[in-house]
């Protein structure tokens, strides 16, 4: 296939091109990843697919040289560098932005981009056929370089970014449309709005703090930065909305609104309408049906609504927020046109009350359950070691309530392998009836943290699951469970982790530790999974 012909445009004009209705298929927020790279001496190739815009930190240096927010290879390459990116979803590409921001004098002077379709197997195999999509273009320093292809490409799963002959590229955006791989079972309920199923935001009234397209991303994101958030509207009967073109025409049966990390700025109300239009953006005369009446949502949680008009077939949905605010995700569950509707109301999702989003661990949030072992929030600090240290006093309350001195101190180490189950499901909890127990990670900050799940004891002497709290403890925090507090056994994240542990034990199993089954709760860990 001949290389695509294209035109270069100013970044400011992108909004008026088809790229505005595309998603960045290479973006790590939708699962894009770096498969292979010839060199990343100064800065890693993963920076190129970071959803956030590049940062400029003049004067910041690392041991290889100036800190750069992009992919930067070492000098004097006699040929050229390349980097293979696995797209988050397979799709057709309509254009690129090869962004060299803040690379001035060390930007890659030129780049080209190829594509291939390799849904399985080794994309580096020598027999893989690569097709040039973007011929070599010159790259001026520190700027966007937006190229709109004259026609969409065929479906690709990977792109190869060629960097001539070496240097830095801040970001590489591959604007395209997803080619969804739908379940073989036509009647399977899927999220028809999901970006991976081809859902796209085609219109939004206001996105001051975060783009509407974030609503359709995988997972629950890491913080309020990866949701859709409009600015404060200040009076009147204002509302903001996004229009989503569904990945396939179909019947909608349930809506899920996720307000995670929006705790004081979630919308007062939401409303959802739907229509059937053959336009990319429904025209002004489109007939909209209200499928979720004006409804309240709340802070930092998941909210589910059975939709009306399930018998109708729709192509677009319109989510309104009144008067304004922020939302993390919108899921619109349904079946594709022609499929058999499931029994309604459909309850195929984990019960919303049993889906939680783990919070960062703080002394205040954890106070009912135990202590956070760290230097901050400590009550008393004194000088120590002839002025060379500070002593943080009583950071944890150590309990030993064994009668007749039966409890013996056990200072031990738990060598924990990381969980492979994310999101994580809490199915059991344990407690130590007569002793506190603390854990302190011995990871020198090499891991990002671990999961802590706790609950208070109920009147039936079992965990009171209404008090279940889940936290992500950082690798510089220890945790101390007070005597009798129900907690999940240690759940290491990222890597194998050694935890120093201190507990009192008598050698009598039922006095040392009680383990009980609990109603399963699905815990989402922002930043640890999509």
Binding test (CB under 6 A) with ligand UGC, winner from 106, 112, 229, 437: 106
Q: What is the DSSP string of 476-493?
A: T-EEEEPTT-EEPPPEE-
> Contact at 8 Å (CB) between 77 and 166?
yes
**Least distance in Å: CB of 209 to ligand UGC?**
31
DSSP 8-state code for residue 444: T
- 66, 339, 442, 518: which one contacts ligand UGC (CB under 6 A)? 66
Instruction: Report d(CA 119, CA 296) in Å as an integer.
Output: 42
Q: How many residues bind ligand UGC (CB under 6 A)?
A: 7
Query: Does residue number 230 form part of the binding site for ligand UGC (CB under 6 A)?
Result: no
Q: Which member of 6, 42, 71, 266 binds ligand UGC (CB under 6 A)?
A: 42
Contacts of 6 (CB under 8 A, 6+ apart): 95, 134, 135, 147, 148, 149, 150
Piece of 65-73, 376-384, 395-403, 446-454 that binds ligand UGC (CB under 6 A) = 65-73
**Residue 192 to residue 334: CA distance in whole angstroms:** 6
65 is a contact residue toward ligand UGC (CB under 6 A): yes
Place of tokens 């012909």: 5
Listed ranges 67-75, 332-340, 374-382, 487-495: which one lies at the site for ligand UGC (CB under 6 A): 67-75
The answer to whether 211 and 329 have CB atoms below 8 angstroms apart is no
- Is residue 75 close enough to count as binding ligand UGC by CB under 6 A? yes
CB of 42 to ligand UGC, least distance (A): 4
Q: Is 348 in the site for ligand UGC (CB under 6 A)?
A: no
- At 213 the three-state DSSP class reads helix
Taking CB atoms, the residue at the shortest distance from ligand UGC is 65
Let me know: does 116 contact 158? Beta carbons within 8 Å. yes
Q: Is the dihedral of CA 89, 90, 96, 102 positive or negative?
A: positive
Beta carbon of residue 77, minimum distance to ligand UGC (angstroms, whole number): 11
Query: Does 8 interact with ligand UGC (rule: CB under 6 A)?
Result: no
User: Peptide bond before 165: cis, by omega within 30 degrees of 0?
Assistant: yes
Calpha distance 331→337 (Å, rounded):
18
- Give me the least distance between CB of 72 and ligand UGC, in Å please: 5
Residue 510: in which H helix or E strand, if any? Answer: helix 509-512
Specify the residue, 75 or 415, whose C-beta has the smaller distance to ligand UGC: 75
In the bound state with ligand UGC, the residue whose beta carbon lies nearer, of 72 and 114, is 72
Say whether residue 471 binds ligand UGC (CB under 6 A): no
Sites of contact with ligand UGC (CB under 6 A): 42, 65-66, 68, 72, 75, 106
């Amino acid at each position: 296939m001949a290389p695509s012909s294209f035109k270069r445009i100013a970044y400011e004009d992108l909004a008026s091109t088809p790229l505005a209705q595309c998603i960045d298929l290479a973006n790590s927020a939708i699962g894009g990843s770096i498969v292979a790279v010839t060199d990343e001496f100064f800065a890693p190739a993963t920076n190129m697919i970071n959803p956030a815009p590049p940062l400029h930190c003049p004067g910041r240096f690392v041991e290889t040289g100036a800190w750069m927010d992009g992919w930067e290879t070492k000098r004097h390459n006699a040929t050229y560098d390349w980097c293979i990116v696995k797209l988050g979803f397979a799709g057709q590409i309509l254009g690129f932005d090869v962004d060299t921001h803040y690379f001035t004098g060390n930007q890659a002077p030129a780049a080209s981009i190829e594509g291939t379709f390799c849904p399985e197997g080794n994309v580096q195999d020598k027999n893989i056929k690569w097709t040039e999509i973007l011929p070599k273009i010159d790259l001026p320093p520190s700027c966007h370089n937006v190229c709109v292809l004259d026609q969409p490409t065929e479906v690709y799963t990977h792109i190869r970014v060629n960097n001539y002959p070496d240097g830095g590229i801040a970001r590489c955006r591959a604007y395209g449309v997803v080619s969804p791989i739908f379940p073989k079972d036509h009647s399977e309920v899927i999220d028809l709005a999901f970006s991976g199923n081809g859902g796209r935001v085609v219109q939004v009234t206001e996105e001051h703090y975060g783009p509407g397209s974030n609503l359709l991303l995988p997972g629950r994101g890491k913080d309020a930065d990866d949701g859709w958030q409009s600015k404060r509207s200040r009076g009147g009967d204002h509302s903001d909305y996004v229009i989503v073109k569904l990945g396939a025409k179909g019947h909608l049966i349930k809506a899920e609104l996720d307000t995670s990390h929006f705790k004081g700025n979630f919308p007062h109300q939401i409303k959802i309408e739907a229509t059937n239009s053959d336009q990319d953006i429904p025209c002004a005369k489109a007939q909209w049906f209200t499928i979720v009446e004006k409804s309240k949502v709340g802070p930092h949680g998941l909210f589910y609504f059975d939709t009306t008009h399930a018998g109708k077939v729709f192509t677009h949905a319109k989510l309104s927020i009144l008067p304004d605010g922020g939302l993390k995700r919108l899921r619109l569950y349904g079946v594709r046109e022609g499929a058999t509707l499931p029994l309604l109301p459909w309850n195929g999702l984990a019960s919303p009350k049993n889906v939680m989003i783990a919070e960062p661990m703080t002394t205040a949030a954890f106070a009912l359950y135990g202590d956070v072992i760290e230097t901050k929030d400590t009550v008393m600090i004194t000088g120590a070691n002839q002025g060379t240290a500070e002593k943080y006093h009583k950071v944890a309350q150590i309990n030993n309530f064994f009668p007749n001195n039966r409890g013996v101190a056990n200072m031990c180490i738990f060598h924990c392998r990381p969980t492979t189950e994310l999101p994580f499901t809490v199915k059991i909890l344990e407690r130590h009836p007569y002793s506190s127990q603390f854990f302190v990670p011995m990871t020198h900050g090499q891991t990002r943290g671990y999961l802590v799940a706790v609950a208070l004891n109920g009147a039936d002497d079992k965990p009171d699951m209404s008090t279940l709290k889940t936290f992500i403890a950082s690798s510089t925090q220890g945790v101390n469970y007070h005597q009798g507090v129900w907690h999940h056994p240690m759940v290491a994240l990222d890597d194998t982790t050694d935890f120093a542990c201190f507990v009192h034990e008598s050698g009598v199993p039922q006095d040392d530790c009680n383990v009980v089954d609990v109603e399963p709760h699905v815990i989402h860990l922002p930043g640890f999974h999509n």
